[in-house]
């Protein structure tokens, strides 16, 4: 069978897609890059906002219109929150809810009686990440969340916390490493909740990955700024654990954080950053901020702007609040007028850009091991990649060698107009 897989939304959806890709390939099915030529299409939907739901529905319609004969399987948060509606969408043959995702390939194979041809599997490596131009693998380690932030629908869509056994995660990482992948991202819904149901924690998992794999670079996906176990920062003593953390703050105002039912208030967040930065001078922290949460006063907004300035984030993802049906926040009074939201988002974007500039400037003149992730199209002499603390670099090198997927020492000598770091190879190999 020719199988096409698509994921919308978060890294967890992407990680699940990677696992299904490998499982279909292991059964001897071939993977195709578009839906047009496929016999079977699997879509991993998103429902984090009403807009995400609209996009999920739009994609399903588009895929069916482009290839009405293909079997269409739908999974993900959209179908888990609203199992009935998708079955009414044209062309949908099967719905697999989030709680059954781990068995999706098995369920699909049984339902459509797919032929099993494992012998063919070894002939093609098209399913391999590198073959698809990817140098970083997302590894799902955990699912679900026990918290109830008032704006969040994910906790309903993904259910209670559950963690994959460390042995399974280590085996998957070793398989990727054998294929040439040099960097993995451990990802989950509530990564800090890893092991909560078995008395272990995210630090135990990271220790297992460091001990039982030789993968050169390990990143952590988005991490709620609480539930970080003791000794967490000492894990970063090894250069294999990347000093970048995405710690969603959402707001800098404690009164607003209370209305969001967030577990971390500004003081705890401040202390977390101080501890992290004293342990890791290169630590780069990025975050999420919701603009225009119901009832957000001018004063609360000022508190957010002042606190963001104090935190000095390397990057800020700005989300303009939109009520998500099914969340507590959707029913809260005093919506912030759209023009006010736009004005606040613009002001925060300006601040974010200034803080990012300051972060980039601190890296000029320094040298970092950069994982090269391809060659910039059209220019041929620039190779993009990321520093360990997740700052994008464009390496200038006229070499004829293929530098893709290599970890190279790069010296930073400036900032490009597009906001990336400008680098060159200090060694004679690529020299300025």
Give the CB-side neighbour count of residue 429, counting CA atoms within 13 A.
Answer: 13
Q: Give min distance, CB of 185 to ligand SF4, in A.
A: 17
In the complex with ligand SF4, the residue whose CB is nearer, 152 or 370, is 152
Q: Give min distance, CB of 257 to ligand SF4, in A.
A: 11
Q: Give min distance, CB of 308 to ligand SF4, in A.
A: 18
Question: C-alpha distances in angstroms, 197 versus 104, 201, 229?
Answer: 24, 9, 15
Which structure tokens are listed for 267? 């003081």
Q: Give min distance, CB of 401 to ligand SF4, in A.
A: 43
In the complex with ligand SF4, the residue whose CB is nearer, 148 or 399, is 148
Q: Give min distance, CB of 222 to ligand SF4, in A.
A: 8
In the complex with ligand SF4, the residue whose CB is nearer, 95 or 157, is 157
Q: How far apart are CA 100 and CA 44, in angstroms?
A: 12
> Strand 217-220's sheet: what is its strand order?
136-140, 183-187, 217-220
Closest by Cα among 335, 380, 150 to 250? 150
Q: Give min distance, CB of 315 to ligand SF4, in A.
A: 18
E-strand stretches of 296-349: 315-320
In the complex with ligand SF4, the residue whose CB is nearer, 108 or 245, is 245
65 exposure class (CB count in 10 Å sphere: 0-12, 13-18, 19+): exposed
What DSSP letter does each residue of 170-220 carry, written as one string?
HHHHHHHHHTT--EEEEE-SSGGGTTTTTT--HHHHHHHHHHH---SEEEE
Q: Give min distance, CB of 172 to ligand SF4, in A.
A: 23
Q: How far apart are CA 81 and CA 282, in angstroms?
A: 40
CA 374 to chain centre: 20
Axis-axis angle for helices 104-111, 11-26 (nearest 10): 50
Q: What does R_g of the chain's alpha carbons equal in angstroms? A: 22
Q: Give min distance, CB of 288 to ligand SF4, in A.
A: 9
E-strand stretches of 229-337: 244-246, 284-291, 315-320
In the complex with ligand SF4, the residue whose CB is nearer, 30 or 45, is 45
Q: How far apart are CA 376 and CA 361, in angstroms?
A: 23
In the complex with ligand SF4, the residue whose CB is nearer, 145 or 351, is 145
DSSP SS3 for 411: strand
Q: How far apart are CA 150 and CA 236, in angstroms?
A: 32
Q: Give min distance, CB of 108 to ligand SF4, in A.
A: 27
Listed in sequence order, the residues at least 6 apart from 37 whose beta carbon sits closer than 8 Å to its beta carbon are 2, 4, 67
In the complex with ligand SF4, the residue whose CB is nearer, 142 or 304, is 142
CB atoms within 10 A of CB 160: 13
In the complex with ligand SF4, the residue whose CB is nearer, 7 or 154, is 154
In the complex with ligand SF4, the residue whose CB is nearer, 148 or 198, is 148
In the complex with ligand SF4, the residue whose CB is nearer, 80 or 155, is 155
Q: Give min distance, CB of 192 to ligand SF4, in A.
A: 9
Residues lying near ligand SF4 in the complex (CB under 6 A) are found at: 145, 147-149, 152, 154-155, 189-190, 224
């Amino acid at each position: 069978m020719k199988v096409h897989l698509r994921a919308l939304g978060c890294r967890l959806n992407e990680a699940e897609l990677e696992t299904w890709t490998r499982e279909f390939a292991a059964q001897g099915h071939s993977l195709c890059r578009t839906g047009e030529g496929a016999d079977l299409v699997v879509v991993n939907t998103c429902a984090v906002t009403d807009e995400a739901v609209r996009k999920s529905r739009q994609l399903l319609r588009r895929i069916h219109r482009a290839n009405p004969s293909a079997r269409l399987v739908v999974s993900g948060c959209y179908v888990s929150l609203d199992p009935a509606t998708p079955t009414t969408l044209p062309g949908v043959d099967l719905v697999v809810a989030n709680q059954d995702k781990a068995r999706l390939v098995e369920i699909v194979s049984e339902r459509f009686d797919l032929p099993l041809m494992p012998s063919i599997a070894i002939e093609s490596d098209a399913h391999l990440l590198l073959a698809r131009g990817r140098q970083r693998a997302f590894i799902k380690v955990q699912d679900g969340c026990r918290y109830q932030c008032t704006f969040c629908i994910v906790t309903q869509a993904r259910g209670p916390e559950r963690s994959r056994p460390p042995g399974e995660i280590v085996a998957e990482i070793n398989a990727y490493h054998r294929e040439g992948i040099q960097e993995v991202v451990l990802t989950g819904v509530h990564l800090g909740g890893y092991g909560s149901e078995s008395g272990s924690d995210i630090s135990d998992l990271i220790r297992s990955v460091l001990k039982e794999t030789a993968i050169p670079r390990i990143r952590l996906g988005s991490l709620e700024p609480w539930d970080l176990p003791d000794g967490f920062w000492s894990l970063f003593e090894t250069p294999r654990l990347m000093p970048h953390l995405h710690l969603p703050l959402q707001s800098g105002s404690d009164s607003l954080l209370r209305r969001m039912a967030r577990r971390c208030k500004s003081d705890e967040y401040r202390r977390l950053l101080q501890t992290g930065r004293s342990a890791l001078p290169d630590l780069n922290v990025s975050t999420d901020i919701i603009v225009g949460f119901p009832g957000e006063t001018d004063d609360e907004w000022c508190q957010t702007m002042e606190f963001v300035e104090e935190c000095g984030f390397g990057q800020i993802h700005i989300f303009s609040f939109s009520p998500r049906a099914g969340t507590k926040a959707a029913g809260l009074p005093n919506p912030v007028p759209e023009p006010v939201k736009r004005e606040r988002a613009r002001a925060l974007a300006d601040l974010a850009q200034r803080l990012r500039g300051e972060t980039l400037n601190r890296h000029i003149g320094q040298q970092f091991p950069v994982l090269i992730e391809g060659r910039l199209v059209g220019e041929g002499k620039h190779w993009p990649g990321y520093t360990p603390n997740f700052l994008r670099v464009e390496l200038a090198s006229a070499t004829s060698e293929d530098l893709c997927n290599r970890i190279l020492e790069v010296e930073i000598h400036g900032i490009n107009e597009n906001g990336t770091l400008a680098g060159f190879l200090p060694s004679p190999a690529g020299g300025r």
